[in-house]
Amino acid sequence: MSRSAAVGRAPLWRDRTFGTYWVAQSLSAAGDSFAYLAVPLLVLQATGSVAQMGVLTAVAGAASVVAGVFGGVLVDRYDRRTLMIVADLTRLLLYALVPLAWLAGPQVWLLFVVLPICEAAGMVFQVAAVTAVRNLVDSDRITEANGRLQATYAAAAVLGPLLAGVVAARFGPATAIAVNAASFALSAAGLWLIRLRPVQVDDGVVRQRPLAEFLAGARFLWRQPVLRALTVLLSVFIFLTYGFTDVLIYHVTHDLGGSEGTVGTVLGLAALGTVAGALLVAPLRRRRGFGVTWIGAHTVCGLAVAGVGLATSVPAVTALTAVYLCCLSVGGICSMSLRQEITPDHLLGRVTSAFWSTHYALGPAGAVVLTWAAGRYGVPAVTLTAGAGCLLVAVGGLCTPIRRAGAEPAAGQPGLRAAPAGGTVG
């Protein structure tokens, strides 16, 4: 698209289809933040064990990884909007079971049934949601759209934990999960009101078995040097940080004597960092390039994670967590936008699925190790080790093609080819 045509377009926020999608998903994100806080609190309240929190996180994460193997195939085969609605309704029904069951007393076993299924449905939803951005906006507005979506999700996540903390303290964590269940109804209703652009299809592609189709996405991911390096390094990063929220909640409640309301305040205020990161990512990438932005973000992430365990006050923990979430947002949006820009539309679901399945594969094990170590050796030792590992991930970026990836990854960057308009790769 020419520069003059781009200048003449209406602002993205005035696009009715994108706006409806934007509002619906922001409301859903606000509800998600209730479960983000309430589920660990339910387990901690019932068992008093941070290790048990980690096991639940690991089981749910493993279900998400398994779903990711086939999620991309589903997204590329079937209507993306319909899949997202089905995933929302599935989570609505399952999460609603938790507060009902809790009326008879703590039912921790139910969480080990509900949460893995919900995480699996959530993985399919996330793959579809990432690919849907490609069908909502023009390719040159993908980073802008991702930034706006992530900023609004984060803004909703600021209010969500604050309210979740109040609700959990006043009525119990199970009630907070009921609010999350209701949010999926709002998301499904918003999706029902929109229509996505048709998926660009390569007529020469023959439908294969699901595993073979998944491997097609994995091959594309592996053949792109920058995407390959990102996948490997981010898999290590997720191992080091997947259990970070559980450790943070344990640190605030156990080490610093905070209440449910305190935890909600910490997570809510820290989410302002995600808002800042989402707003900063587009200008940072334009000015500094992909490589510098991504490596710099993960360097600061490592320093912030190391500092959290050493912090001895709630305000300090909140500030450091906000810095961590800001840089996590910057790095994550950069990575996601790059995949969307250079992947053919008919492969995007499978490439996203392959990336996330690989990316999260080590996460469940990391959550178990991180939370067990926090209970055994203390939070400071765990966060120092995890932070040092995150710094090594950033150093790894300097030794790979990530370092050379610039502000315009689809135009002349080593190892990168943009997806052509027809949705096929030459």
Percent of the chain scored above 70 by pLDDT?
A: 83
Q: Which pLDDT belongs to residue 213?
A: 67
Q: Give the H/E segment covering residue 100.
A: helix 80-102
C-alpha–C-alpha distance, residues 170 and 165, integer Å: 8
- Using pLDDT thresholds of 50, 70 and 90, give the confidence band for residue 403: confident
Tokens coding 223 = 């053949």
Q: Which residues of 404-422 are buried (b: 16+ CB within 10 A; e: fewer)?
A: ebbbebeeebebbebbeee
* Cβ atoms of residues 359 and 68 within 8 Å: no
Q: Which pLDDT belongs to residue 157?
A: 66
Q: What are phi and psi of 259, to 5 degrees?
A: -100, 180
Question: Angle at Cα 396 formed by Cα 61 and Cα 287, nearest 5°?
Answer: 95
- Using pLDDT thresholds of 50, 70 and 90, give the confidence band for residue 289: confident
Please state at what angle helix 225-241 crosses helix 363-377, rounded to 10 degrees. Answer: 30
Mean pLDDT (the chain, rounded):
78
- Using pLDDT thresholds of 50, 70 and 90, give the confidence band for residue 390: very high
Query: Who's near 115: CB < 8 A, 6+ residues apart?
Result: 39, 56, 59, 60, 63
Assess whether pLDDT exceeds 70 at residue 37: yes
CA 59 to chain centre: 17
Q: Which pLDDT belongs to residue 254?
A: 83
Per-residue pLDDT reduced to its tens digit, 139-151: 666 767 777 777 7
Query: Who's near 121: CB < 8 A, 6+ residues apart?
Result: 67, 86, 87, 90, 91, 94
